[in-house]
Amino acid sequence: DTMLNQKGKDVICIYVAIGQKASTVSRLVHTLEKHGAMEYSIVLAATASDPASLQYIAPYAGTALAEYFMHQGKDVLIVYDDLSKHAVAYRALSLLMERSPGREAYPGDVFYLHSRLLERSARLSDELGGGSITALPIVETQAGDVSAYIPTNVISITDGQIFLESSLFFEGMRPAVNVGLSVSRVGGAAQTKAMKKAAGSVRIDLAQYREMEVFTQFSSDLDPATKAQLTYGSGLMELLKQPLEHPLSMEEQVVILYAATSHLLVDIPKEKLKTFQGGLYEYMRSSYPQVGDALRTTKTLSEDIQREIAKAVGEYKAKFLKAQGNAPEAATADAKLDKQ
């Protein structure tokens, strides 16, 4: 999805497949071709059937390609999938060369293996052309253990991590991001001002929702404020679900996050939120194209844009609830909110 989202943004994408099945790589290439992403993408593969030496060299070959474009002043995204298989290939080579095994039988320089690779991803100064490489390393965890050897090594090198959990995946939360263990070490510095403003309270809101969710298991009698918090939190979780191969633009994300964090969507039934979200994007594109244009060019969420979003959401919500036959309930929900 990250690669599909770079369409028309003048970014070259390089996908390095290390030790994967050839069928998996073929499926990925097919997906990229289907969405027209192969025009700006390179796939470099050392599959599971290739020798360990080729799997070991694959990410370095990918980075050399990325550096070629970076020195031409281009922006490059490189995905390493995945570095745990890379470390296993390096361990096999090291043991064959009779190097002393260390923790988990990996050689002592396994940290250096990944640090020298990832530290080649950089942003060049304007005098050198201003090109850049952004690395997205993927690491597999065994039984969800984020404190294992290779995951902790890579985490300590990177600017943060997104931790995906299988239990969340099976609960239907996809992408299955564990909000507690996922961390950014650059924070708002990597976000546009608009995104920073729109998503500012999401993390705290989700943490509060999770905390309250635990308490509700023991108590059935809840006060209205707690009920409102739970309705808001479950709606937020629903909005964060995203189907495969449907990347959202920055302006679409800002619109929906602003609408959600401003409590404009609390009276939409949870099961209809995704339908509402898709319809809202269409409505914004047709009736309020200036909002998307302003967010794209200024990258800030000014008060005028906020008012326009609130107005558009209000208009579309009235239409949506009327079509669903929920207009009376919506009115009573608004009245309850006013009282609170």
Q: Which residues are catalytic?
A: 185
Q: Which amino acid is at 186?
A: V
Query: Residues with Cβ < 8 Å from 332, sequence gap 6 or more?
Result: none
d(CA 22, CA 27): 9
How far is the C-alpha of 19 from the C-alpha of 28, rounded, in Å? 14
Residues forming beta bridges with residue 78, ordered by sequence position: 14, 135
Q: Which residues contact 170 (CB under 8 A, 6 or more apart)?
A: none
- DSSP string covering 55-105: HHHHHHHHHHHHHHHHTTT-EEEEEEE-HHHHHHHHHHHHHHTTPPB-GGG
- Segment holding 85, helix H or strand E: helix 83-96
Torsion, CA 325, CA 327, CA 329, CA 334, rounded to 10? 150
* Tokens linked to 145: 């253990």
3-class SS shares of the chain: helix, strand, coil, % to 5: 55, 10, 30
266: closest CA among 330, 319, 209?
330
Whether the CA torsion 67, 72, 73, 75 is positive or negative: it is negative
Q: 41 vs 2, 11, 129, 338, CA distance in Å? A: 12, 9, 21, 51
Question: Using only C-alpha atoms, what is the Rg of the chain?
Answer: 23
Q: Which residues of 132-147 are buried (b: 16+ CB within 10 A; e: fewer)?
A: bbbbbbbbebeeeeee
3-state SS, 269-281, equals CHHHHHHHHHHHH
